[in-house]
Structures are given as structure tokens and as C-alpha cells.
């Protein structure tokens, strides 16, 4: 467990499985226009991520026991790029808690988890959060188009 700032903690989703319906609603609202999946289909995703020391694994940011953000380390995340793995995926922070450092804390927590296990490099794709990830050590690998939107593929080789 990590406490990046007062009142906020990061835990395994495996410790807080009751948060799965909330995560599914977040993911549906934020990303269904990319893949068209229903909430029921999306709910299967976090259920696969209840691992404690294996991939896929999901971390949850909590504030006063309320789920406010999440991030996942997954084996795949982008069609046509399955030759690259693993991926930082599904980074999401509740709008009411954005710009408080929660997103950055989740990314750093995931990176520390990976570093401890020698998992490197880690890939991700993003339409618009390049700067946040660059500040956390990722570098743009290439650019592509996904579901009609320009995206950047990024890579971070973890240094001890």
C-alpha cells in the first residue's frame, strides 16, 4: 500500500473488488466511443485484473475509502501492437479529483511495482496526456491513428 499524499492511498483492486461497478461506469463513459463496448462487457475487464503479483493487475486510488482513480498494468492494450508488452492502461481519475496529483501518483506506483519485479520496458498509448507521461519517464516511440484519433505510443525503460 502507498500513501502519496494525506488522505489518499493506493491499493490493489483485489483488496477492494466492490469498486468494480464504479470502474466499469468510468471506463464506459470515458472510452466506449473507442470500442463500442457495453458496461457489461467492460465489467469483465477489471474482474480479470484481481491479481496480486501477476498481470493483468489493477491499482485503485482511494480517498476516505472512496474510489477516485485507477490504473492497470496489462499484457496488451492496443490492436495491432500485441508484439509489444506490457502496457500501462486504463489510467483514470474522477473529474472531481483531477489536478491533485492522483494520476501521477498512480503512474509512479505502477512504475515502482514493475521496477521491483524487473518488468521493463512498459508501453502505453495516449491521445492527449503525453506531457503527464513524459514527466513520469515515458518517451514517445511513434504516432498512429486509433478510432480516428491521433495517438502517441510511448515507452519507458525502467531504471533502478
Residues engaged in binding ligand COA (CB under 6 A):
30, 91-93, 98-104, 126, 129, 131-132
Q: What separation, in Å, do the N-terminal and C-terminal C-alpha atoms of the chain show? A: 20
67's torsion region: left (phi>0), alpha (psi -120 to 50) or beta? beta
Shortest distance, CB of residue 14 to ligand COA, whole angstroms? 21
d(CA 23, CA 91): 11
State which residue, 57 or 136, has the beta carbon closest to ligand COA: 136
**Nearer Cβ to ligand COA (52/146):** 146
Choose between 95 and 160: whose C-beta lies nearer to ligand COA: 95
CB 143 within 8 A of CB 153: yes
Min CB(62)–ligand COA separation in Å: 14
For ligand COA, the closer of residues 53 and 64 by Cβ is 64
Give residue number: closest CB to ligand COA.
103
Residue 113: CB minimum distance to ligand COA, A: 17
What the block records as the C-alpha cell of 15 is: 483488496
- Nearest approach in angstroms of CB 132 to ligand COA is 5
Which burial class, exposed, middle or buried, applies to 73 when counting CB atoms under 10 A from its CB (0-12, 13-18, 19+)? buried
Amino acid at each position: 500500500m502507498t500513501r502519496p499524499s494525506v488522505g489518499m492511498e493506493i491499493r490493489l483492486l483485489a483488496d477492494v473488488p466492490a469498486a468494480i461497478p464504479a470502474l466499469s461506469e468510468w471506463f464506459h463513459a470515458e472510452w466506449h466511443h473507442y470500442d463500442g463496448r457495453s458496461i457489461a462487457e467492460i465489467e469483465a475487464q477489471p474482474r480479470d485484473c484481481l491479481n496480486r503479483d501477476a498481470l493483468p493487475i489493477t491499482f485503485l486510488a482511494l480517498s476516505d475509502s472512496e474510489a477516485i482513480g485507477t490504473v492497470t498494468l496489462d499484457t496488451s492494450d492496443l490492436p495491432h501492437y500485441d508484439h509489444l508488452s506490457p502496457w500501462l492502461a486504463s489510467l483514470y481519475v474522477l473529474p472531481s479529483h483531477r489536478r491533485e496529483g492522483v494520476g501521477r501518483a498512480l503512474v509512479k506506483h505502477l512504475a515502482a511495482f514493475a521496477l521491483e519485479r524487473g518488468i521493463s520496458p512498459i508501453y502505453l498509448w495516449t491521445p492527449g496526456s503525453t506531457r503527464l507521461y513524459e514527466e513520469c519517464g515515458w518517451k514517445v516511440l511513434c504516432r498512429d491513428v486509433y478510432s480516428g484519433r491521433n495517438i502517441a505510443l510511448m515507452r519507458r525503460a525502467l531504471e533502478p
